[in-house]
Amino acid sequence: MLTDPEHIKLADRPLVVCDVDDVVLQFATPFEAFLTGRDLRLLPRSFKLTGNIVDAAETVLDALAVRNLIHDFFVEQERWQTPFAEAVDSLHGLASEADLVFLTAMPPRHAEVRRRLLDRLTLSYPMISSEDPKGPIVARLHGGRSLPVAFVDDMLGNLSSVGAHVPESALVYLPPDVAIFRFAPEPQAPVLRARDWLEARQLIEAHFRS
């Protein structure tokens, strides 16, 4: 169910689709702390995890080892992941006039733990857990309604996927303030960059009224 948009019924009002990792819940910062606990560390040399995680002897971990670490982190996510400043209040504020849906790209086997964590944070909005491209999922959700739609993510690839499939959507880029994001590409119009949740909320509300 958590992997399928069909379980979500939208009301007759605007829609906000929002990524979770490194947008609502911190990922990069607690993941680095998780690595430290295993005598590993992240050397931010490019915009990816694979190839930049090393052990105590500075040997680079291979892709399978990195995938297993991310899996273990997500199993324990309730111990590690906390929301960004203003994220919870901003989402509650937006939800007073819009339907909110979380679209999280984590492997679906971790969806139940994520659901529980979001509920505990009073973020009981519908969630889709899928590793498929985000554009077609948002297009299916929105279904070409003549109501405003906005999408928030920290990955430009996801923003351009949604832009290609739902061109009327506001595209809000909200990168976390962490070292590895210094290597992320710069967003291009029509993608809007937000410094924090207060600005993201303003951009979305301005789009609703435009």
Stretch that binds Mg ion, among 47-55, 89-97, 120-128, 147-155 (CB under 5 A): 147-155
- What is the C-alpha separation between 11 and 14, in angstroms, rounded? 8
Rank residues 54 and 121 by Cβ distance to Mg ion and give the closer one: 121
Rounded distance, CA 162 to CA 182, Å?
Answer: 23
Q: Shortest approach of Mg ion to residue 79 CB, angstroms?
A: 19
Binding segment toward Mg ion, per CB under 5 A, in 83-91, 153-161, 169-177, 183-191 = 153-161
Do 105 and 143 contact (CB within 8 A), yes or no? no
Residue 36-75 contact track with Mg ion, rule CB under 5 A, x = bound: ----------------------------------------
Computed over its alpha carbons, how large is the radius of gyration of the chain? 17
- Dump the DSSP string for 19-86: --BTTTB--HHHHHHHHHTTT-EE--SSS-STTSEE-TT-PBP-HHHHHHHHHHHHHTHHHH--BPTT
Task: Provide CB contacts within 8 A for 179, sequence distance 6+.
Answer: 44
Q: Which stretch binds Mg ion (CB under 5 A): 70-78, 108-116, 151-159, 175-183?
A: 151-159
21 counts as binding Mg ion under rule CB under 5 A: yes
- The DSSP output letter for 181 is G
Q: Does 205 bind Mg ion (CB under 5 A)?
A: no
Scan residues 74-133 and list those touching Mg ion (CB under 5 A): none
Residue number closest to Mg ion, CB atom: 21
Q: Which stretch binds Mg ion (CB under 5 A): 13-21, 33-41, 81-89, 111-119?
A: 13-21
Site residues for Mg ion per CB under 5 A:
19, 21-22, 154
